[in-house]
Amino acid sequence: MKLSDRRVVVTGGAGLVGSHLAAKLAADNEVVVADDLSKGTRERVPDHDAVEFVQADMTDADDVADAITADVDIVFHLAAYTDTNYGNPRQLFEENTEMTYNVLERMDEVGVDHVAFTSSSTVYGEAPMPTPEDYAPLEPISIYGASKLADEGLVSTYGHSYGMTAYVFRFANIVGPNQRGNVIPDFIEKLLSDPDTLEILGDGRQEKSYLHVEDCVDAICHVVEHAGKPVNTYNLGTRTTTSVTRIADIVADVMDLDPDYEYTGGERGWTGDVPRMRLSIEKVSALGWEPTTQSDQAVRSAAEQLYEELRAEHAAE
């Protein structure tokens, strides 16, 4: 599907990936950003003539109907609880799946036949690395991962049985500016408060793939424009990994600090944490896309961007 002269809806468009995606799409399309602002912020929504903002809760069928109309060509469904360690796991599961079902049901009702859904590497659970898209069985170990796998099932059903073309993206860890609640901003905030000591959850050996948000949205658009099966599932990540201790080293270097590290212990940072993850990206590579940076550089770029933001916020307090 060519992404030009289209009317596009981006749910969760005030979040990290959604706001960057909306900005990229706005260059050649009309974009409707739908977000309830429970996590994202209005300031993240691109200030662009081609972008319309609708404050909408995707668990509310009326709000979904306001955002998704018959003149829409494709919906990028990013709205979700994305915290793998969320305090109310039942709410996370029920509302993530409700949002996805509402979006798909409304699309079918008004004849919108292209959907792109952002899933997660957590659907694989603790799988061998690098993990390809056809790895099975999928055995997530977190409620978040279970919700994304359930959502994938809904998207697959609408792709195979309701005439939609679906794109499913299984993300590695996405990092970039304006991000909160992730290991990088967490470390920066801790070091702004105490530059001498840094608490690290787990043993610091957790090792995962990190992808910068700019590469992420570029990959999403590339797949939508070049893949054409009823259901198109792609891993998005890098071929390298970075450990939590290495992230601490990078953040400390960016901040010109040399703190002592204090580990909470154990191989997981929290219940449901997958200690090691690296996705195979050979499938998306065969489609003609490659990341411009690897994990360490993605982390460093994000740390530099986030340090500027958080230092200014800290100074203003």
pLDDT 10s digits, 55-75: 999 999 999 999 999 999 999
- Report the chain's mean pLDDT, rounded to a whole number: 96
| Omega prior to 185 cis, within 30 of 0 | no
* Cα–Cα distance list, 93 to 100, 103, 145 (Å): 11, 16, 9
Give 315: exposed, middle or buried? Use CB within 10 Å, 0-12, 13-18, 19+. Answer: exposed
Confidence band for 2, pLDDT divided at 50, 70 and 90: very high
| Euclidean distance between CA atoms 262 and 79, whole angstroms | 35
Q: Which sign does the torsion angle of CA 102, 104, 108, 110 carry?
A: positive
Judged against a pLDDT cut of 80, whether residue 273 lies above it is answered with yes
Mean pLDDT of 200-214: 96
Q: Which sign does the torsion angle of CA 8, 14, 18, 21 carry?
A: positive
Mean pLDDT of 266-283: 92
The pLDDT of residue 39 is 87
| Euclidean distance between CA atoms 281 and 207, whole angstroms | 17
Residues counted in the chain = 317
| Euclidean distance between CA atoms 190 and 186, whole angstroms | 6
The per-residue pLDDT for range 99-153, each reduced to its tens digit, is 999 999 999 999 999 999 999 999 999 999 999 999 999 999 999 999 999 999 9
**Looking at 111-115, 154-158, 178-182, which range is the least confident one?**
178-182
The pLDDT of residue 179 is 92
Phi first, then psi, for residue 257 (nearest 5°) are -125, 165
Strands 242-243 and 207-208: antiparallel
- Adjacent-strand bridge partners of 234: 169
